[in-house]
Amino acid sequence: MKGSLLYEGKAKKVYYVDGKPEQLILSYKNDATAFNGKKKDQFAGKGRLNNLITARIFEHLHQQHIPSHFLKALNDTEQIVQKTTIVPLEVVVRNIAAGSLTRRLAIPEKTVLNPPLIELFYKNDELDDPLINDDHAKRLADVTEHDLDHIKILALKINEILKRLFRQADLELVDFKMEFGRLADGTIVLADEISPDTCRLWDVTTGEKMDKDVFREDIGDLIETYETILQRLEENKCVK
């Protein structure tokens, strides 16, 4: 069923599906990278955790009628998705100031951003994924004004749904990154992954960082942290 390798990224491998040209298999790796690949390590079990957490999140988004590439988890480390052409934008939604925003604009960490702030980054490793504006995006990412409006409306809806989902797990969704892709008919849907690698999550009770910042800043055990996220999401499975 799993066909040949199409692409290998920093966190996942992408395979064709034999006989199903409209689908792909994403295989989550144990590698962790940060600062555009300058910091690297491997953690046994990380691929499984990000695969299962992403699956849980995309299933929840599907129930809330958010269109995405996700079809289903195949096993612990692999999921099957609809093939899309990725729009080369990293769409970041921020509810609380942290990370690059605090460094770039000297906005103090923990400043509440209401309404949430949307930022676009051009997905290009050689350029270190630079921050861009809408006009740049239209030029570089082959999107129209209408596409951008659609992406931003979807991004804000996803943010509201996930804020609620994580709150039920005693986690504050500080910020997160999304990628969108086009199906064969041109429709834009949510793609890639949403996991503790691509979100900032702070424990509501203790304020502890519960995401890839534990690796970026060497402040905790990545596997233990991601395992806690999965467990808390599973415990709240029936809560709407």
Q: State yes or no: residue 35 binds ligand ASP (CB under 6 A).
A: yes
| Angstrom distance (rounded) from CA 167 to CA 165 | 6
Would you say 78 or 179 has its CB closer to ligand ASP? 179
Residues in the chain: 240
What is the dihedral sign for C-alpha 24, 50, 201, 212?
negative
Selection from ligand TMP, ligand ASP, none that 199 binds (CB < 5 to 8 A by kind) is ligand TMP
Rounded to a whole number of angstroms, the minimum distance from the CB of residue 10 to ligand ASP is 5
Binding segment for ligand ASP among 33-41, 79-87, 102-110, 114-122 (CB under 6 A)?
A: 33-41
**Nearer Cβ to ligand ASP (147/175):** 175
The entry of ligand ASP, ligand TMP, none near residue 35 (CB within 5 to 8 angstroms by kind) is ligand ASP
Distance CA(87)–CA(39), nearest Å, equals: 26
* DSSP-assigned letters across all residues of the chain: -EEEEEEE-SSEEEEEETT-TTEEEEEE-SEEEETTTTEEEE-TTHHHHHHHHHHHHHHHHHHTT--BSEEEE-SSSEEEEE--EEPSEEEEEEEE--THHHHHH-PPTT-EEEEEEEEEEE--GGGT--EE-HHHHHHHS---HHHHHHHHHHHHHHHHHHHHHHHHTTEEEEEEEEEEEE-TTS-EEEES--STTTEEEEETTT--B-STHHHHTT-S-HHHHHHHHHHHHHHTTT--
Positions that interact with ligand TMP (CB under 6 A): 90, 92, 99-101, 129, 175-177, 198-200
- Report if residue 54 touches ligand ASP, rule: CB under 6 A: no
Q: Which of 12, 26, 28, 33 binds ligand ASP (CB under 6 A)?
A: 33
With CB under 6 A as the contact rule, the residue among 14, 17, 34, 223 that binds ligand ASP is 34
CB of 176 to ligand TMP, least distance (A): 5
Q: What's the closest the beta carbon of residue 125 comes to ligand ASP, in angstroms?
A: 8
Is residue 36 a contact residue for ligand ASP (CB under 6 A)? yes
Residue 37, interface with ligand ASP (CB under 6 A)? Answer: yes
Q: C-beta of 20: minimal distance to ligand TMP in Å?
A: 28
Work out whether 65 is an interface residue with ligand ASP (CB under 6 A).
Answer: no
To ligand TMP, the closest distance from the beta carbon of 102 in angstroms equals 8
Q: How many residues bind to ligand ASP according to rule CB under 6 A?
A: 8
- 33 phi, psi to nearest 5 deg: -130, 155
Cβ neighbours of residue 60 closer than 8 Å, sequence gap 6 or more: 161, 165
Query: What does 176 bind: ligand TMP, ligand ASP, none (CB cut-off 5 to 8 Å by kind)?
Result: ligand TMP
Q: Which chain residues interact with ligand ASP by CB under 6 A?
A: 10, 33-37, 212, 216
